[in-house]
Structure 1
Amino acid sequence: MTELTAPQNTTRDSALEDLVGRIMDAAEALLRTHPEGMSELAMLRTLQDDPWRLLASIDFSSPTALYPVHFLLFHSLYRQRERLVAESGETIDISALNIRIRPTPDRGLQEAGQHDALHAFYRDIANHDLGETTINRMLDDFWQGITRPADEDLRLACDTLAIDRPPPDLNTARNAFRRLAMRHHPDRGGSNEQLQALNRAMATVRHHFRGYS
């Protein structure tokens, strides 16, 4: 039994590692052409289509069907982030709402900050194969905790709006948003990308305060 199982597992692991490598390369290529970032959903759908064709059809309504694909993408992104930090001093912001490459001013601090709980979870390829009960429990935990965004998402939002983190109140964020939106409006020399970034940041801050209501 052992002699039959080991080669099968080895072949599967090799195929999975090959797929992860291709997702890493594709994700970086996509992010280089989308400097404003992409949502997880947009990246998954893009990786299904030409020229990539790395992912099969995904049932987005089924947690047990979606989880392995979600895990593979995030596993690949965390590995690619490690590579970029080491090779170019860049990093990847990783969240379901926005994934983007950005420079990091202090490589040493960035490297030290990689090993958080999410990093540890997604870097362990064994977590790709979880049972339905475990996946559903994780989903329940997610919905219970979704009342506030992750700390990293809130930090990026506050940086975008140039306000303190955590923001003292929602009106402070709203005033900052209005001021920056006027300054970066395309009619005043700004860009749609800047406005989109401000809108995402404001949505994150609103989400943060909703968690206290």
Structure 2
Amino acid sequence: MNDDLDPSLDLAEQVLQLLQAAPDGLAEYALIQQLKAGHSGHLPNLPLTDKLVLFRTHFLLFNALYRLRDTLWQQQAHLLQISPLCIQLLPYQPGISALSEHDALRDYYLNLDNLRDTDERDVERLLASFWTRMQGGEEKQAALGLFELDDEKPLDMTRIKHRYRQLVSQHHPDRGGSTERLQSINKAMEILERYYS
């Protein structure tokens, strides 16, 4: 979008204009780039290579998105899908409970103290925590896959221990199983204990 955005509009209204022109939605980065190209005065006009600038830009955009989502829902105009990979206006559908459930992310982004009180060290900790969770999530999914446990039934240590005993019995070397398989099962159990104990 080459046209300048109307400077009298708040960031949420500018975002709405851009999303209306992109029916398939936009990734967060593309939306930020279009806002900057349209000379939105609401985002820092600094390179996103600085982690604190990146955090503040992201925070301001998501604050605007959650405010916009609330407004559009109250007006019964649209359902706003918010995800870093796809921000999209969807048709309003009465009866969808998405906004009636408690949304911790919404609470976080609508509290401007979180923007004011976050410094560069906090951003470093947030990024480190994110990557730890991402790596741990893959490890956890691999362990659940080895145990052949799905998320359909609630997972707890009782169910995990029961499945562990079944697998150990089935794959124990004394019963024709392999030592390597048993070691994998034990390692998976260690991982799942960290998440479910």
TM over 0.5: yes
1:75 alignment partner in structure 2: 63
Equivalent positions of 1:82-161 (< 5 A) are: 82-107=70-95, 109-113=97-101, 115-129=102-116, 130-146=118-134
Counterpart of 1:43? 31
Separation (CA, whole Å) in 1 of partners of 2:133 and 2:92: 28
Q: Secondary structure at the match of 2:98?
A: helix
Q: Distance in 1 between matches of 2:45 and 2:103?
A: 31
Q: Match of 2:105, as an amino acid?
A: L
- Work out the CA distance in 1 between the residues paired with 2:25 and 2:87: 5
Aligned equivalents of 1:60, 1:49: Cα separation in 2: 14
- Which of 59, 68, 71 is the aligned partner of 2:47? 59
Q: Retained in 2: the 8 A contact 1:89–1:107?
A: no
Alpha-carbon RMSD: 2.9
Gaps of at least 5 residues in structure 2 are 1-6, 139-149, 153-197
1:33 to 15, 21, 28: 21
SS of corresponding position for 1:97: coil
Task: Report the structure, 1 or 2, having the larger helix content.
Answer: 1
Q: Secondary structure at the match of 2:85?
A: coil
Rounded to whole Å, the distance in 1 between the matches of 2:134 and 2:73 is: 29
C-alpha distance in structure 2 between counterparts of 1:125 and 1:118, whole Å: 13
Q: Give the TM-score of the pair, scaled to structure 1.
A: 0.55
TM (normalized to structure 2)? 0.59
> Unaligned 5+ residue runs, structure 1?
1-18, 150-164, 168-213
What letter is aligned with 2:31? M
Report the alpha carbon displacement of residue 146 of structure 1 after superposing the two structures with TM.
3.4
Q: Counterpart of 1:180? A: none
**CA shift for structure 1 position 109:** 1.5
Q: Judging changes above 3 Å, is the alpha-carbon distance between structure 1 residues 71 and 146 closer, same or farther for their aligned structure 2 residues?
A: same
Separation of aligned partners in 2, 1:59 and 1:166: 41
Confirm or deny: 8 A CA contact 1:23 1:54 kept in the other structure: yes
Count of matched residue pairs: 134
Larger gyration radius, structure 1 or structure 2: 2
Distance 2:52 2:39 in 1: 27
